[in-house]
Amino acid sequence: MAGNEWMRRNVPRLWFARRAVRRFMPGESAEDALKAAEKFQGQHIPVLFTRLGENVTRAEQHEAAADHYAWLIEETHRRGLDGEASVKLTHLAMDMSPPAMQKHMDLLAETAAANGNRTVWIDMEGTDYTEPTLAEYERLKARYPNVGICLQAYLKRTYSDVERLLPLEPKIRLVKGAYSESVEIAYQTRREVDANYMALCVSMLAQIKAGRGLFLGLGTHDVRLIKQLAQHARSIGLPRTCFDVEMLYGIRADQQRRLAKDGYNVRVLIAYGDYWYPWYMRRLAERPANVIFALRQLLP
């Protein structure tokens, strides 16, 4: 459903869908996102910002997205907020013009470096884009230290992708993965995905312990897994601050606060913008109970 064009055009017009999506977004405008970030700052929780958009088809769309992110990074700095941008490369023209995408990413990495030495994060999309996304990360990381990339634990290739990136001293956000991928290339069951997530983290923590330059962010709401990894880190002599915990706005907010209180480095990703349909569908797919929540919005 996330890829259905008719649904994408029509669902956002439904008032109850607009009401339901507010659970995962403070609002559609950048100001809504910045205001939410100010609230998190009050709880000592830094943020990530994503302006929703993907697979753009017109030059003015990717130019506008790049300009917006550059402005957002400067504005975040101007307001004294601890916030970083997390972008999708297909929002910045990866499909239609790789040279334009590279120009946009250079601009964002430079703007982020000049505004408080922030990191710019690259989201990982469906597997048609895995290889070009990794290649762009390699290109960028050779020029700018302040870029990070998301990798997906459901993909069978991810272990070798980590190995491939290690010499670059990468910043990696590990997520379970949000797209529908085939059994040939992706683990399908929750047990398998969790086991691979754990194995990948154990191996990255060993690299951190050995003093390799590697930043690890756990992009998951799976608190059981986070705690197991903190225990494992402790068993090899690393503090719980050896990784960041990154969660989405509106999901397990109580745990976000609790983990921050317990001394974990927590960061919350705030998504905003009006192109929320495919992203929202992926949030529903992760947890079918969210569909019931969305339907309940029909009630007065």
CB of 198 to ligand FDA, least distance (A): 12
Query: Active-site residue 194, yes or no?
Result: no
Residue 276 backbone dihedrals phi, psi, to 5 degrees: -95, -10
Binds ligand FDA by CB under 6 A, chosen from 2, 56, 70, 248: 248
Question: Is 177 near ligand FDA (CB under 6 A)?
Answer: yes
Task: Yes or no: say if 166 and 214 are a contact pair by the CB < 8 Å rule.
Answer: yes
Q: Which stretch binds ligand FDA (CB under 6 A): 1-9, 127-135, 137-145, 244-252?
A: 244-252
Q: Which stretch binds ligand FDA (CB under 6 A): 63-71, 176-184, 233-241, 258-266?
A: 176-184
> What tokens appear for 90 in the block?
């297909």
Task: Yes or no: say if 225 and 197 are a contact pair by the CB < 8 Å rule.
Answer: yes
Residue given tokens 């060993």 in the structure block: 206
Question: Is 176 near ligand FDA (CB under 6 A)?
Answer: yes
Closest by CA position to 33, among listed 52, 14, 53, 56 = 52
Residue 196 belongs to what H/E stretch?
Answer: helix 190-209
Question: Is 84 near ligand FDA (CB under 6 A)?
Answer: no
Nearer to ligand FDA, 156 or 252 (CB): 252
Nearer to ligand FDA, 62 or 283 (CB): 283
Question: Is 52 near ligand FDA (CB under 6 A)?
Answer: no
Buried residues in 25-42 as b, exposed as e (16+ CB within 10 A): bbebebebbbebbeebbe
Q: Which residues contact 18 (CB under 8 A, 6 or more apart)?
A: 12
Helix, strand, coil in percent for the chain, rounding step 5: 55, 15, 30
Q: Give me the catalytic one of 51, 95, 118, 173.
A: 173
Closest by CA position to 98, among listed 140, 51, 42 = 140
| Alpha carbons 27 and 24: distance in angstroms, whole number | 9
Question: Is 175 near ligand FDA (CB under 6 A)?
Answer: yes
Q: What x-and-dash track marks residues 268-297 binding ligand FDA by CB under 6 A?
A: -x-------------x--xx--x-------
Question: Is 266 near ligand FDA (CB under 6 A)?
Answer: no
Bridging pattern class, strands 215-219 and 171-175:
parallel
CB of 43 to ligand FDA, least distance (A): 17
Site for ligand FDA in 93-152 (CB under 6 A): 123-124, 150, 152
Question: Is 44 near ligand FDA (CB under 6 A)?
Answer: no
Query: Active-site residue 161, yes or no?
Result: no
Nearer to ligand FDA, 78 or 150 (CB): 150
Task: Yes or no: say if 229 and 220 are a contact pair by the CB < 8 Å rule.
Answer: no
CB of 282 to ligand FDA, least distance (A): 7
| Alpha carbons 217 and 181: distance in angstroms, whole number | 23
Question: Is 251 near ligand FDA (CB under 6 A)?
Answer: yes
Binds ligand FDA by CB under 6 A, chosen from 73, 77, 246, 276: 246
Question: Reduced to 3 states, what is the DSSP secondary structure of residue 123?
Answer: coil
Residues near ligand FDA (CB under 6 A):
123-124, 150, 152, 175-179, 219-222, 246-248, 251-252, 269, 283, 286-287, 290
- For the annotated catalytic residues, the residue numbers are 123, 173
